[in-house]
Amino acid sequence: MRRSWRTWAPGLILLLPSMVLIGIFVYGLIVANVQTSLTDQHTRVGPGNWAGLENYRTLFGDEDFRYGLRNLLYYTLAFLAGTLLIGFVWAWLLERGLWGEGFFRAVYLFPMAVSFIASGVVWRWLLNSAEGDRATGLNRGFDSLHLGFLSNEWWSNERWGILAIAVPAVWQLAGYVMALFLAGFRGIPEELREAARMDGASEWKLYRHVIFPQLSPVALSAIIIVGHMSLKVFDLIVAIAGDTNYTTKVPAIDLWTEYSRGDYAISSAIGTVLLVIVAVLIVPYLVYTFRQERRR
């Protein structure tokens, strides 16, 4: 164990600044946030008194907050299902050697380069809920294609409105998931397919037993990446529906509202709830990849 300091010191010095900065500005602030959420500091001027889990009780007792959580769940499911399905189909089509692969790859991937706020401004117009003579955007398009029955109120519907927000989100991220799957497809050695075909596997069996298992780590990564983006959705909703609209309420919007009115305790409690929800998704994944790497 007489390793010279020269082997470890440069690495440590290199890492130290980022460790200190992340320690203070990420983990330190998470602790401060949780602390605030356990007080009764419902104004901008602190500090508040210890209030235990009172804020969390208030939140989960509030029907509107639960509605926001429900919206978040619907949105995440729709976002995940949409991006995975479309991304996979596109990747599969391109992988089968469709003409003009480079062109389509760029076209599908490009929406990702646009920020949610910028695309939200356009989608706000596309998803306008006016019908009939005053219709604009998609409803107008449906009308002129004689598909008027498809016109709907989009995101202003109380039950399903949040799903309309998932439409632009899917549009934006499906290309990214496609790129992930395409890389996954390309990573499967041709020999594996040939071997399966030699053994007499049908095309379906080839996919079911050879390709899909090889793609599952890619699918898992896609779920984690898209899933955690989905849980943090804020900008897209603000750009399309505004921050006071009821039907598109999610916890991140509530957080902003509570913060802007100066209720620091409740807003930090919402922040903690969001952090826990994201952690539930991310931590098992981190544990899984850590184990995988150790096994190697």
What are the residues binding other proteins (CB under 8 A)? Answer: 6, 9-10, 13-14, 16-17, 20-21, 43-45, 64, 124, 127-131, 133-134, 153, 155-158, 161, 241-242, 244-247, 257, 259-263
- Residue closer to other proteins (CB basis): 22 or 89: 22
* Structural tokens at position 17: 């600044």
The CB-of-50 to other proteins minimum distance in angstroms stands at 19
The CB-of-109 to other proteins minimum distance in angstroms stands at 29
The CB-of-211 to other proteins minimum distance in angstroms stands at 44
266: nearest Cα among 48, 26, 31, 24: 48
- Residue closer to other proteins (CB basis): 45 or 113: 45
Residue with tokens 């490009």: 110
SS3 at position 41? coil
Residue with tokens 């062109």: 103
212: nearest Cα among 244, 178, 188, 229: 188
- Residue closer to other proteins (CB basis): 126 or 273: 126
Rounded Cα–Cα distance for residues 250 and 272 (Å): 14
The CB-of-9 to other proteins minimum distance in angstroms stands at 6
- Residue closer to other proteins (CB basis): 152 or 214: 152
Q: Which residues does 117 contact at the CB level (< 8 Å), separation at least 6? A: 235, 236, 238, 239
- Residue closer to other proteins (CB basis): 6 or 295: 6
The CB-of-111 to other proteins minimum distance in angstroms stands at 22
Q: Tally Cβ neighbours within 10 Å of residue 252.
A: 21
236: nearest Cα among 137, 153, 164: 164
